[in-house]
Amino acid sequence: MGLLLAPFMTVQASEADSLRVVGRDSAIIVTASAWLGDATGAGPARSVLPREVIDRLAPMSMASTMSLFPGVFVKDYGGIGGLQTVSLRGGSSAQSLVMLDGARLSSAQNGSVDLTTIPVRSIESAEVQRGSASALYGANALTGVVDVRLRLPETSGVGLTLSQGAFNEWRSALDANMRLGSDVRIGVDMDVFGTRGSFPFSVNQFGTTYDVNRQNGHARHMRLLARAEFGQWHSATVIVRSADRGVPGAVVQGAIAQTRAQLRDEDLMAVVRSTLYTSARDRVWMTASARYLDQHFVDPDATIVGTQGIDMRYLQHDATTSAIWQRQHEDLQTTLRFDASHADLQGASIASRSGERVVRRSASISGDLQAMNVLDTDVELRAAMRADVFSDVASALSPLLALRRVIARGLALRASWSLSFRPPTFNELYYLNYGTRDLRPERASTIDAGIVAEPWSWCSIDLTAYTGTIRNLIVSVPVSPVITSAQNVGTATSQGAELVIRSRGFDGRLLAQWSYALQYMRDATGRAGLDGKLVAYAVPELVSALAQWDAGAWFASLQWSYTGFRYATSGEPFEMMLRPFALTSLQSGIRMNGSTVRGSVMLQCDNLFDVSYQVVRGFPMPGRAIRVIVNFDMR
């Protein structure tokens, strides 16, 4: 698209415009640096989606934006009512760290994060770092990091959003923001949405195809976000979340499982960031986060555990505090960081030496050195080291070494090597009839090499190749016809390449992106029938494309993604693989502006061509879904 439109594009942007985002004629103008700029530097490959791009997509959850990042795959169990977890470079969801405003969301219980829990209306940017990064972020960052940043609007005002869509999907959201003086902003955002979750799909039962409706897929989510910002140095955020949803099981031969299973979440999270000292050279700041999560799962039909079925409640507490000192001296930046955390989990299915409650405490220290213009050359050097100590599993040492070399204007090479780790989760250690207490942490070694080019002022290219190994791989191993156990089984290998091309034209009104990822996560454990096979749900090929146009009075986005074949179980016959699928989504809307009130009406269509597909085996996805979104703002 960029090449076709090149004759009509503005070739040279002014230096001032390349550093900011401006509004003109009610259009959102995303400047070149915000969209095309090289965000990576020396270190793991990094991609960023700014707030303006996400707003035009109007996502129901973060899962709708994840396909725009190369190498990112979302395991979706059935629309907004289903579980949605993220995978990077073919790894498991527990091998990818998810953060919200700098605080860890990946829990000690299972290492995964349901993307529907992340508030999407107050996002400043969504960032994905691809590759091993425990030296910078700690545990779970084996295959990458998803970091969602929050920020309040610059102006005071009140906003209302209403939407209605297919399958009885609905949403109501209200936000209020106030600016006090030049530096203080406070805001509240309440978002309530849900779905009946009943949609038609075809199922083959013993050779006969039937059309049935999905059962027990209803959901209701409520999120309340309260935030205060004091300049750029201090912020405090509180997020309250409540969710009540059905948990339908897989559609299997002869049955549709878990037709009455229910899950209720009560979640409270607080994040504080504060700069304690700043000078011309030094800055000292701290972050602290705390979380309380109450989960209650009921399935009256699961009589395998007793005549009354399953009725389980889990209470989870997490708390983390960090202190960071950073010094900038000419071309040298040093960062020293201290972290301490506490996590505990209580539940009837937890079998530990102390009963139905387990505790994990950890402490870490890390150093990060970034040197620019090394030996008076266009070379950037980054070296980092982190040491983590845990109360219940082995300690870990995580180094990182990265180089970046500018070889010409608009052309740079980068390379990095790192070691990362993932401690076993509470479920893998202590869950009844599944956990194994002597599990060793997974450890990953990764080498990345890439090139970043900006051949024209309206186009950027980012190409990355990588190879790595994961040792002490933790997987579920059958130990009886009905019981599996978490075990260290050996090594997995990972190789791949990622390409991102972005273009910008017509003074930022047109944005386009194309990404392609080729990735192979293979079993290398030596087990008969599994060695050399693709790891389950490691997708070898992922492609996505995005085009957005903002003309002021009207705007539109077209999003397309392709997910290649994948295995639901390692080593299964080739003919059992899950088939590839391609999805197209379209958003188009108009804006209306008054002296104090602004509004917009958007028509959104997911799965435009009504593709029948499954992301996870046995979990059918909805067909074409159309929704209308109405928004009013008083500023």
Per-residue model confidence as pLDDT tens digits over 139-159: 999 999 999 999 898 889 999
pLDDT (tens digit, 9 = 90+) per residue, 283-303? 999 999 999 999 999 999 887
Ranking 12-26, 582-596, 619-633 by mean pLDDT, the lowest is 12-26
Residue 12 is predicted with a pLDDT of 35
> Residues 65-106: pLDDT tens digits?
999 999 999 999 987 778 899 999 999 999 999 999 888 999
Residue 289 pLDDT: 96
Q: Does residue 374 contact residue 402 with C-beta atoms inside 8 Å?
A: no
Query: 307 in helix, strand or coil?
Result: coil
| 408 burial via Cβ count (<10 Å: 0-12, 13-18, 19+) | exposed
- Determine how β-strand 219-230 pairs with β-strand 442-456: unpaired
> Is the confidence at residue 314, as pLDDT, over 80?
yes
Max distance between CA atoms of the chain, in angstroms, equals 75
Give the span between the Cα atoms of 152 and 229, in whole angstroms.
Answer: 8
pLDDT band at 554 (very low <50, low <70, confident <90, very high): very high
Distance of CA 502 to the CA centre of its chain: 20
Q: Write out the E strands in 440-534.
A: 442-456, 459-471, 474-478, 484-488, 492-505, 510-523
pLDDT at 522: 95
Average pLDDT over residues 20-39: 51
CA angle at 550 for the pair 547 and 153, rounded to the nearest 5°: 110
Percentage of residues in the chain with pLDDT exceeding 90? 68
Q: Band of the pLDDT at 450, cuts 50, 70, 90? A: very high
Say whether pLDDT at 34 is over 80: no
Distance, CA of 322 to CA of 312 (rounded, Å): 33
Q: Is the pLDDT of residue 443 over 60?
A: yes
Cβ–Cβ < 8 Å for 578, 563:
no
Contact 361, 390 (CB under 8 A): yes
State yes or no: pLDDT of 9 exceeds 60: no
- Average confidence (pLDDT) over 27-46: 67
Mean per-residue pLDDT over the chain, rounded: 89
Residues of the chain with pLDDT > 70, as a percent, come to 93
Report, as an integer, the average pLDDT of 472-494. 91
DSSP 440: P
Is the pTM value of this prediction over 0.75?
Answer: yes
Task: Check: CB of residue 163 under 8 Å from CB of residue 132.
Answer: no
- The predicted structure's pLDDT at residue 542: 97
At 203, is the pLDDT very low, low, confident or very high (cuts 50, 70, 90)?
confident
Answer yes or no: is pLDDT of 3 > 90: no
pLDDT, tens only, 484-535: 899 999 999 999 999 999 999 998 899 999 999 999 999 999 998 899 999 9
* pLDDT score recorded for residue 1: 32
Is the model more confident about 51 or about 397? Answer: 397
pLDDT greater than 50 at residue 26 = no
- 273 vs 283: CA distance, rounded Å: 13
pLDDT in tens, 100-116: 988 899 989 999 999 98
Least confident of 202-216, 257-271, 357-371, 460-474: 202-216
* Separation CA 43–CA 20 (nearest Å): 25
- Token look-up 């991609």 returns 47
Check pLDDT > 50 for residue 6: no
Q: What CATH number was assigned to the domain covering residues 6-205+215-256+267-634?
A: 2.40.170.20
Tell me: pLDDT of 10 over 70. no
**Predicted local distance difference test score (pLDDT) of residue 39:** 63
Phi-psi map region of 427: left, alpha, beta (phi>0 left; psi -120 to 50 alpha) = alpha
Question: Helices then strands (H, E): number in the chain?
Answer: 5, 39
Model pLDDT, residue 38:
65
What's the confidence (pLDDT) of residue 33? 57
> Tell me: the pLDDT tens digits for 157-172?
999 999 999 989 999 9
Average pLDDT over residues 403-413: 92
User: Quick check: 374 and 42 in contact, CB under 8 A?
Assistant: no
pLDDT band, very low/low/confident/very high, at 32 (cuts 50, 70, 90): low
Spell out the residues 6+ positions from residue 422 whose beta carbon is closer than 8 angstroms to its own. 94, 95, 111, 139, 140, 142, 441, 442, 444, 474
Is pLDDT at 630 greater than 80 in this prediction?
Answer: yes
Q: Does 223 score more than 80 pLDDT?
A: yes
Q: Residue 37: what pLDDT?
A: 65
How far are the Cα atoms of 47, 370, 452, 469, 563 from residue 407, in angstroms, in the given order? Answer: 21, 19, 11, 30, 35
Dihedral (CA of 611, 518, 110, 536) sign: positive
**3-state DSSP assignment of residue 65:** helix
Q: Which residue has the higher pLDDT, 329 or 256?
A: 329
Cα gap 488→405, rounded to integer Å: 39
Tokens of 210: 């039937």
Q: What is the mean pLDDT of residues 117-143?
A: 92
Amino acid at 259: T
Q: In the 8-state DSSP scheme, what is residue 77?
A: S
What was the pLDDT predicted at 16? 33
Is residue 289 within 8 Å of 315, Cβ to Cβ? no
Sign of CA dihedral 104, 227, 118, 583: negative
For residue 381 the two structure tokens come to 């050097």
The angle formed by the CA atoms of residues 151, 157 and 162, to the nearest 5 degrees, is 85
Burial class (CB in 10 A: 0-12, 13-18, 19+), 554: middle
Residue 570 Ramachandran class (φ > 0 left, ψ -120 to 50 alpha, else beta): beta
CB half-sphere exposure, 629, CA atoms < 13 A: 23
Residue 469, pLDDT > 50, answer yes
